[in-house]
Amino acid sequence: MPAKVVKKRKPATRTKRRKSVLQVNTTNSGHSAGLPAGAFLLFGGLCLLMLGWGIWLFTTWMGDVLFTKNDRFLLEKVEARSDGLLPETILQSWAGIEIGDNMYEVDLKSVQQRLEGHAIVKHAVVQRKLPDTLNLVVNERVPIARMGQVLGNMNWLLDEEGVLIKKSFESKHLPFLLGVDQSVSLGEDISQGPAGPVLPYLLALREKPGKIRDLLPVHVISVGHPDYLDFRLKDGFQILFPRDGNVDELIMKASRGIYEIQNRNLDITYLDMIPDGQNKIGAPE
């Protein structure tokens, strides 16, 4: 019986696993591919800058075409009016603008400042009236009193705020202020000085009914005393008012006192309205 041949098995060999092309190399996972983030930010910033510059150029060009270089908006007329006595020609001259200027190149704020730079102008409004007209409206300061070196000569006129408006030989009907610092100039404000307390009296008196104003025809006011204001009426009657107090109440009380004096034909030419005085008809004892 022949011998049985036993075949030797070949040892099993491991097959090598091929790496997937999708496998990510973990050793390089800390490095990003492509351009760094800073480069993207720089590029994006440049793009935004170029876009903004382009928009600015376009809007500037459109503004020139539609407005500042458009012959349709050339200034042909300046309309000016005031609530006082300033004539239209003076206001047009003070505005400092030329016929033929482009409406959109006229700086409205500068025109307003030029007008209000004149002491008599309290407030000015400047408006475009398209396509070719500029509209000026001026509110004038109204004189409420006068002051100066000599009562009868040329005097400064001042308004309710104490602003010196102009010099004039006219307006002799306005109350004359004595005791005011004379080192002043056009456009200055004297309301912070000794004349300040008299301005509310004059403003309140101007707004009173005519019968009250007729009882108090103020001619001269001395403002030099630190405790009171010395009012002299056109007939020489004297009234001492306090520098502080309820102006309306004091004026009404003084008018009633003068009315009583006139009605009773009393020989009295003085009223003391100062709180620490007797505050009655006649001079204090």
- The strand ranges marked E within the chain are 77-82, 121-129, 133-140, 145-147, 155-158, 164-168, 176-178, 218-222, 228-233, 238-242, 270-272
**pLDDT attached to residue 282:** 42
Contact yes or no for 240/253 (Cβ under 8 A): no
pTM (global) more than 0.85: no
Question: Topology of 71-140 in CATH?
Answer: Ubiquitin-like (UB roll) (3.10.20)
List per-residue pLDDT tens for the chain, 285 residues long. Answer: 455 544 555 555 555 555 544 454 544 444 445 556 677 677 677 777 777 766 665 555 554 544 556 677 799 999 999 999 999 999 999 999 989 889 989 999 999 999 999 999 999 999 999 889 999 999 999 999 999 876 667 899 999 999 999 998 888 899 999 999 878 889 999 999 999 999 999 999 999 999 999 999 999 999 999 999 999 999 999 999 999 999 999 999 999 999 999 999 999 999 999 987 654 444 333
**pLDDT attached to residue 50:** 74
Each domain of the chain, given as residue ranges in start order, spans 71-140, 145-272
- Determine the CATH number of domain 145-272: 3.40.50
**pLDDT attached to residue 46:** 73
> What SS3 class is residue 125?
strand
As a whole number of angstroms, the distance between CA 81 and CA 94 comes to 13
**pLDDT attached to residue 176:** 95
**pLDDT attached to residue 42:** 72
